[in-house]
């Protein structure tokens, strides 16, 4: 069966130097883009991470320093990748917790804005774990009846993820064949940032999930402890988290400015 798409859907997978969102780098990225008319296109890049690849990561994906020494740096391919992502939703395996956040960091580091506003995210792993808690290779075997060759090759993992999602939609009667449903179904707690440092409470207010102000709203923290914002911006937090908090601070400043202008207007009306 074919996925029902209203606009392009991009499956992608990253191989990296490690699992730290803020500090690790991409060494391979593979993209499979599906169009509503059924057409597909795929691209795979090896990437020079501009840092030494730890042996424990090499043991997983087999990509060595020598293999990427003459490959482009991410900032060199970022504009092309950004263009491919335009107007498309995103899908991957564990993508909402790892691949999308790390891709966002690399984009921002390259000076290219990255936003998920208006995009849907489908995490095939979340659907899988809700239905059949296992890993990608087991999922490929369970849903597709195949053995995953070249596991931890970005291209192989991307293709497998795509095939699993199609099989999931076909297998379960309660899973609708629409990106809106799949995105909602595969989304866990509502995050304001990718890394989960900033979440939404039941009043749709941003709250922090760490540190001495854990559980308090960001606006309340910034009003009572202004220095905390500066500390976060200078600490080792993901760039996207800093971007989200900067947006909240600017929103607060705009609200204050608006209230001040409204007060002035009311005073002039009374004169």
C-alpha dihedral, 122 to 128 to 133 to 137, nearest 10°: -100
pTM over 0.75: no
Say what percent of the chain tops pLDDT 90. 76
| pLDDT single digits (tens) 30-39 | 999 999 999 9
β-pairing verdict for 9-16 and 26-34: antiparallel
- 217, pLDDT greater than 70: yes
For residues 29, 34, 39, 42, the Cα torsion angle rounded to the nearest 10 degrees is 0
pLDDT on residue 187: 74
Which tokens go with 54? 């730890």
Residue 250, pLDDT score: 93
pLDDT digits (tens, 9 = 90+) for 45-75: 999 999 999 999 999 999 999 999 999 999 9
Identify the pLDDT of residue 8: 97
pLDDT of residue 263: 63
What CA–CA distances, in Å, run from 28 to 11, 79, 155, 247?
14, 16, 9, 31
pLDDT digits (tens, 9 = 90+) for 89-126: 999 999 998 999 999 999 999 999 998 888 999 999 99
> What mean pLDDT is predicted for residues 158-165?
95
Domains and CATH numbers, the chain: 9-185 (3.30.420.10), 198-270 (no CATH)
Q: Would you place residue 270 in the very low, low, confident or very high pLDDT band (cuts 50, 70, 90)?
A: low
The pLDDT assigned to 215 comes to: 92
**CB contact at 8 A, 180 and 187:** no
Tokens 């990296």 correspond to 16
Give which of 89, 78, 82 is closest to 10, Cα–Cα. Answer: 89
Q: What is the mean pLDDT of the chain?
A: 91
Whether 259 shows a pLDDT value over 80: the answer reads no
């Amino acid at each position: 069966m074919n996925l029902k798409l209203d606009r392009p859907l991009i499956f992608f997978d990253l191989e990296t130097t490690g699992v730290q969102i803020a500090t690790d780098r991409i060494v391979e990225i593979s993209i499979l883009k599906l169009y509503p008319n059924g057409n597909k296109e795929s691209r795979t890049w090896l990437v020079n991470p501009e840092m030494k690849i730890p042996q424990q990561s090499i043991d997983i994906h087999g990509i060595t320093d020598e293999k990427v020494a003459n490959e482009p740096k991410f900032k060199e391919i970022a504009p092309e990748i950004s263009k491919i992502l335009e107007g498309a939703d995103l899908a991957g395996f564990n993508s909402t917790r790892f691949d999308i956040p790390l891709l966002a960091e690399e984009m921002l580091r390259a000076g290219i804005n990255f936003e998920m506003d208006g995009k849907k995210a489908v995490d095939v792993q979340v659907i899988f774990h809700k239905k059949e808690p296992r890993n990608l290779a087991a999922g490929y075997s369970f849903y597709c009846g195949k053995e995953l060759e070249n596991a931890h090759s970005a291209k192989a993992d991307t293709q497998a993820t795509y095939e699993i999602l199609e099989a999931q939609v076909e297998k379960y009667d309660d899973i609708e064949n629409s990106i809106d449903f799949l995105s909602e179904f595969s989304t866990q707690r509502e995050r304001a940032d990718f890394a989960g440092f900033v979440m939404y409470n039941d009043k749709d207010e941003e709250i922090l999930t760490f540190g001495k102000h854990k559980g308090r709203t960001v606006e309340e923290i910034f009003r009572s402890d202004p220095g905390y914002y500066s500390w976060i911006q200078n600490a080792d937090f993901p760039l996207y988290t800093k971007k989200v908090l900067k947006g909240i601070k600017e929103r607060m400043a705009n609200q204050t400015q608006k209230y001040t202008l409204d007060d002035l207007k009311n005073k002039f009306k009374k004169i």
